[in-house]
Chain A
Amino acid sequence: MSKNKLLIPLLAVLLGFVSGAIVMLITGHNPIEAYSALLKGAGFYGNIKRLGDTLLNTTTLILTGLSIAFAFRTGLFNIGVPGQMLMGGFIAVLIGAKLSYPAAIHVPLAVIGATVGGACWAFVPGILKARFRIHEVVSGIMMNYIAMWSVYYFVPVLIPGNFNTESRPIIQTASLRTEWLSAIFKGSYVNSGLFIALFCVVLVWWILEKTTFGYELKSVGFNIHASKYAGMKVNRNMILSLMIAGALAGLAGATFYIGYADNIKIGMLPSHGFDGIAVALLGLNNPFGVLLAALLFGFMNAGRLFMQSATNVPNELVPIIIAIIIFFAATSLMLQTWLQRVEKLVKRNGDK
């Protein structure tokens, strides 16, 4: 059974790439050329800067993936990640652009601001779920759009930029970019957010596997009634779980908006939030699985624009593959029956 558990995500990824190839064949592109351009664009042929861009994309995806995986383990679906990430990023950019401190104070302040912003944004679905039994998916979607329109209003009012669709850039003392990392990766925007993300992988694993609190959270995820009967504070745990997930999403916002970009654009929700669902599903909601899945999607996102300019295959191929992977991972029941059939066939042939 545990063998199948690992096989299903791998099969989903394989089917995703095969379906992507079919889409390209139908629309008259060459899949082999496109996939090799995708690898080249992500730095697999030895280009250090492109490899840095892969790690840059991975950083944000690790955090959004962790956010969704963490809530999943408590039985909650944190679809509010895009909104929490946007709010966290907005607070970080606000602190970065409005205040002026030496980097040693400015960076931690902006990162903490992002964490708190994300956690507060997730508190609303948490309290609505605990108090009124309102499904966190519905309230999460509403909070996403409240975040989008709040940023749409507050950016031009508080931190107007050169264009009216974006904020002004942050002061460089608040940036997560570091000179030595940029030097190693030859000018890539990969930043110290990567270490925050890796630290969070270990932290989430430690909370879930090594603490009583994590045990209670997982217990609520398995059976809410049994947990209540055993005397656990189910409502408090649900709120805390969503707030931690929101904090992780807020950190994702920090790595994106004050690490990669140095300003915030208005009128859209960051796509990393929804990609995080794919990362968590593929990583089987395990922190280290999330890390591997984020690497996979990070390389795809880093190479997509290079692929578009090198082979004329539209860069939307990458989200198509991601969506197909989600679809196959979601219908794992189907993959399981396929696997069982294959196993039976193999056994029957072996008997002969």
Chain B
Amino acid sequence: MWDILTSIVPLAIAYTAPLLIIAMGGLFSERSGVVNIGLEGLMGVGAFAAAYTMLTAAPSMGPSSVYLGLLAAALAGGVFSLLHAFASVTMRSDQVVSGTAINILSAAITVFLARSLTGSANVQIAGLIKDNVPVLSKIPVIGPLLFGNAYSSTYIVLLIVVVSWYVLYYRPFGLRLRACGENPQAADSLGINVQRMRYIGVAISGIYAGLGGGIVIATYSWEFSPLVYSGLGFLALAALIFGKWNPWGVLGASLFFGLAKTVADMSKLFESLNNLPNIFFNTFPYIVTLIALVLFSKNAAGPKAAGEPYDPGKR
């Protein structure tokens, strides 16, 4: 049992990191009042940007090219998300339609570019290598579970989550952003530029989702391929909802879903888990999210104005 735990938990944490950062991106967007189902596409853009940057920079930069790739991923996601912001904030179009366009466009354009630039839809790179964190991994019991076999990017993600939580709840900027998602008319009457705040919210979601895609490439995947689009962005959306649009809730939900996903993928490798049907763990995140929505439905949990374009002429 201990052997299973020490091999599954670090894997689950590695799987959780990108999921968590993408869901945090969704949090910023939805808290500012823009529903973002384009997370999957933004993640994919980040994944491609990371893979291509790592591929071209690796000969001259060596292993540090991975961090340059992560930076490029965040940047690419941020720039791409401006399309969504333009459509849903400036043009007040249907945010779900625009998000769908982002998903289709990104899945097509990244593979198109991969084929045009590298000659193949698959881009293989050398990413980060797992390592034990010095000192901390020596702590009995928790050490090997939480700090053994870990990627450095996981701690970057954790740092970003803590900073995001602080900014959202303890800085004026965070209060203003959340106000735009709850009651944009009231926020506007107090002199907050609702459109600008929403642009910032969507851009942050793009940066985070792009970084998440970069982390997928840099950690457990090591390859960009059309298979990158296998639903991680939508799983992040489920984590965001299950976590009740709250940073710590999202952290818990992501861990929960990451663990379920890892168990589903690993159950064939361990004899004591072999008899569990994978359908249970694979559908688990989506089913519990539906159940959670039913339970939340009495007191609506999400940002009140999310999904509605802001029209200053309507009070």
Contacts and interface: CB of A to CB of B under 8 A. Distances in A.
A18 interface: no
Contacts of B294: 128, 132, 134
B262 interface: no
B97 A316 contact: no
Given A132-B297, A149-B279, A333 B112 contact: no
Interface stretch (A2-10, A197-205, A229-237, A318-326): A318-326
B6 interface: no
Interface stretch (A107-115, A140-148, A210-218): A140-148
Contact of B97 (A28, A132, A277): A277
B83 interface: yes
Nearest to A149: B282
Q: How large is the interface on B (under 10, 10 to 19, 20 to 34, 35 or more residues)?
A: 35 or more
B100 A314 contact: no
A317 B115 CA distance: 11
Q: Interface SS of chain A: helix, strand, loop or mixed? A: helix
A45 interface: no
A145 B96 contact: no
A288 interface: no
B113 interface: yes
Contact of B96 (A77, A124, A275): A77
B19 interface: no
B93 A142 contact: no
Contacts of B97: 277, 281, 326, 329-330
B215 to A, nearest CB: 21
Given A139-B293, A153-B277, A316-B112, A326 B104 contact: yes
B115 A145 contact: no
Nearest to B91: A331
A146 to B, nearest CB: 5
B138 interface: no
B225 interface: no
A334 B88 CA distance: 12
B131 interface: no
Interface stretch (B165-173, B201-209, B234-242): B234-242
A173 interface: no
Contacts of A275: 104
A86 to B, nearest CB: 13
Interface residues of A, number: 51
Contact of A27 (B103, B108, B116, B231): B116
B116 A314 contact: yes
B243 to A, nearest CB: 14
B87 interface: yes
A318 B104 CA distance: 10
A87 B113 CA distance: 33
Contacts of A143: 286
Nearest to B241: A138
Contacts of A142: 238, 286-287, 289-290
Interface in A125-173: 128, 132-135, 137-139, 141-146, 148-150, 152-154
A135 B230 CA distance: 23
Given A77-B96, A148-B231, A322-B104, 20 more contacts: A23-B112, A79-B100, A132-B294, A137-B96, A138-B241, A141-B238, A142-B289, A142-B290, A145-B283, A146-B286, A149-B283, A153-B279, A153-B282, A274-B103, A281-B97, A314-B112, A326-B101, A330-B94, A331-B87, A331-B91
11 contacts: A134-B297, A137-B96, A141-B237, A153-B279, A268-B230, A277-B100, A320-B112, A324-B101, A326-B97, A327-B105, A333-B91
Interface of B: 35, 37, 83, 86-87, 91-94, 96-98, 100-105, 107-109, 111-113, 115-117, 121, 230-231, 234-235, 237-238, 241, 277-279, 282-283, 286-287, 289-290, 293-294, 297, 307
